[in-house]
Chain A
C-alpha cells in the first residue's frame, strides 16, 4: 500500500473562491504529480515536481498553481475557482525510475 493522502476528498465551493487541495506522502519520494480526470475518465497531467523547489507544468494547461517547499507536501491551489474547474484531481508520487502511486483523489465541484 502506498502512503499518499489527499484532502479534502470532496469539496463544493462557490465561484471566485480560492481553494487549496492538499497532497502528502510519507514515502520520501522525490517525484510528485497532479492529474486531472475529466468526466470521460481520461487522465491529464497538469503539474509535476522532481524535488523540492522544482515544479513544472504538465501536458494539459491549467489555471492552478503548485508549490513544493517540502519533499512530502505538494499542494495545488486555484486562486479563483470557476465551474470549468469542476473535476477530480489525483495526486501521485514515485521514487526515481519506479512505479507511480496515487492518492484517493479530490472531487471538486464549483457552483
Chain B
C-alpha cells in the first residue's frame, strides 16, 4: 500500500540556519503530496502541496519539489526562525483518497 517515510527527528537548529527535512514515498499512480505543520497544542495546518511531477509547492519561505524519479518531496527553508518550531508531517493522497502520513519530524529552532 501507499506509504511515506520522513526523516526522524528531533531536529535542532539555530535561527537563520538552512533546513531540510527529507521525505520519500511509495505509491501507485500519481499521488498528490503535502506538508502539514503542527504547532504546540494545535491541529494540523496545510503548509504546502504539489499535485504533479516537477511541481514546486511554497509557502512562508518553505519549499518542496515533487520529484517522481526519486519519489521524494523534501521540505526546505533557507533561513529558519524561532517561530518555525513545530512538528512537520509529510503526507500523500493516492488512489485510496485517504491521507497517508509520515511519522512527523519535530523541529526546534533556538535563538
Contacts and interface: CB of A to CB of B under 8 A. Distances in A.
A102 interface: yes
Nearest to A9: B41
Interface in A92-111: 92, 96-97, 99-105
A48 B42 CA distance: 21
A99 B46 contact: yes
Contact of A90 (B43, B98, B103): B43
A99 B98 contact: no
Contact of B44 (A90, A96, A97): A90
Interface residues of B, number: 20
B43 A43 contact: no
A58 B100 CA distance: 11
A6 B43 CA distance: 10
B69 interface: no
B7 interface: no
Contacts of A74: none
Chain B binding surface SS class: strand
A41 B87 contact: yes
Contacts, number: 45
A54 B34 CA distance: 26
Given A41-B103, A41-B104, A97 B97 contact: yes
Given A41-B87, A41-B104, A42-B104, A100 B99 contact: yes
A104 B98 contact: no
Given A45-B99, A104-B42, A99 B34 contact: yes
Interface of B: 32, 34, 36, 38, 42-46, 49, 87, 89, 93, 97-99, 101, 103-104, 106
Given A41-B103, A100-B99, 4 more contacts: A2-B46, A40-B103, A42-B101, A92-B44
26 contacts: A2-B46, A6-B43, A31-B97, A33-B98, A33-B99, A41-B38, A41-B103, A41-B106, A42-B104, A43-B89, A43-B101, A45-B98, A48-B98, A90-B43, A90-B44, A96-B97, A97-B97, A99-B46, A99-B49, A100-B34, A101-B46, A102-B36, A103-B43, A104-B42, A104-B43, A105-B42
